[in-house]
Amino acid sequence: MLSNANIVANLIAEDMRGNSKHIEEVVTGMGADPSSRIVVLDSQAKVIYDTSENNNIKGKTLVREQILDALEGKDVVSTYKEKEVGTVVQTAVSVISNSEIAGVVYITSVASETDDFIKDIRWLFYVISIVVCILIGILSAVMADVIVSPIEKLTAKLSKADFETDGELVKFKGSIELESLAAAFNNLSGRLTEMEEKRRSFVSNASHELKTPLSSIKLLSESVLSMPEIDQETVREFMTDITGEIDRLSKIIERLLSLTKLDTEAEPLSLKVTDLNEMSQRIVKSLTPVAENKGIAITHITEKEVIGMADREKMWQVVYNITDNAIKYTPEGGKVEVGTYDDGKDIRIEVADNGVGIPEKDLDKIFDRFYRVDKARSRESGGTGLGLSIVKELVNMHGGEISVESIVDAGTRMKITIPKRLG
């Protein structure tokens, strides 16, 4: 309608001053449909031409907001409701002649056709909406089946899963996501199985270790009780043995407690600027009598100070334990060497001996709880098999590493590195 009005306005631009004949020709020539009415007005809003037959207002002034707007140069399209006929669309455009607004073309049209069109579209909308809803419903049901039923299967498998039988518990083919979920679960269950195994062997080892001295104590005291006549000297001998076993028990329990403390992280590190060279020197000094007792030459490779952030008490335990081991597992006449070095970013502590050594197959096990290469020898020298597992845990707490090189009957070298963490 707007473009029709513009065409009329252009065609009649030259005729605004009096040529009403041509205006009529143009307007009727447009062949507008009978439901629309075209009114041409001059710049005073006086009707020059009107296509209406039964309500012709030619010669009258028609004042409407849209027409006044058009006289100010604004093209207007709007609708209004009229009783009986319904929605009417109206448009008003200005007629420009010699770059002045010379009049207005005003067209009204009953919108019954447009209404019908809109109704049709509305219907189409309803139908499409219903169809889409139904499709979504069906699709959701299918998707739910595709997604939920495998998850249900997986859940059923998982709840039946037995951690003890095997690691590869859940197998799943089909959906990539579910396959990776199953893989993650298998991984987790593998780790749980491993942990469970460790826990079990720990408990059984601990019970065994505690039981051994207890059995000795029982045996010793029963022997004393079973002797009808017993002299003071023999009682003293038995009692000394019993006390020794009790000391052993206390030592194991003490170490177990310190391990659990480390496990639960009840005791956090207290890092302080520490001279680890001075510390290892002191340890060597304190262990020198023990070594000399065994005829072992213990030396400390003195260097300048080696400063880093460390928990002195814990690092003391670490170096003390491995130096103590070196003395313990070195026969008479051997030698032990302790050295602390500055590696730039790290601090390295090495303890070397020329003792019994460790067989290659045992090298990665000596850090396990209760593991001892030679149980009898270790027990004889007061070992519990817990020392190195505590050492390893303490080194790890410092963010460091411990490694071992060893040759049977030639000697062992323990190497610890911890980051300096200065600045």
Ligand X SMILES: Nc1ncnc2c1ncn2[C@@H]1O[C@H](COP(=O)(O)OP(=O)(O)O)[C@@H](O)[C@H]1O
Binding residues for Mg ion, rule: CB under 5 A, are 325, 387
For the chain, give the number of residues: 423
Please, what is the end-to-end C-alpha distance for the chain in angstroms? 81
DSSP class of 89: E
Please say whether the beta carbons of 309 and 340 come within 8 A: no
Please say whether the beta carbons of 361 and 377 come within 8 A: no
Pairing of strands 36-42, 307-310: unpaired
Among 209, 245, 353, 393, binds ligand X (CB under 6 A): 353
Please say whether the beta carbons of 78 and 70 come within 8 A: no
Out of Mg ion, ligand X, none, which partner does residue 366 contact, by CB within 5 to 8 A per kind? ligand X
- Choose between 51 and 381: whose C-beta lies nearer to ligand X: 381
402 sits near ligand X (criterion: CB under 6 A): no
> Closest by alpha carbon to 340, among 304, 287, 286?
304
356 sits near ligand X (criterion: CB under 6 A): yes
Site string for ligand X, 376-395 (x = CB under 6 A): --x----xxxxxx-------
Out of Mg ion, ligand X, none, which partner does residue 326 contact, by CB within 5 to 8 A per kind? ligand X
298 sits near ligand X (criterion: CB under 6 A): no
Window 301 to 340, contacts with ligand X (CB under 6 A): 325-326, 329
93 sits near ligand X (criterion: CB under 6 A): no
- Choose between 109 and 325: whose C-beta lies nearer to ligand X: 325
Q: How many CA atoms lie within 13 A of 209 on its CB side?
A: 27
Distances (CA, A) of 326 to 6, 168, 395: 108, 43, 18
The nearest distance, CB 412 to ligand X, in angstroms, is 4
Distances (CA, A) of 367 to 352, 363, 372, 409, 414: 17, 8, 9, 20, 12
Out of Mg ion, ligand X, none, which partner does residue 358 contact, by CB within 5 to 8 A per kind? ligand X
Site string for ligand X, 358-377 (x = CB under 6 A): x-------x----xxxx---
- Choose between 387 and 400: whose C-beta lies nearer to Mg ion: 387
Q: Which residues bind ligand X (CB under 6 A)?
A: 325-326, 329, 353, 355-358, 366, 371-374, 378, 383-388, 412
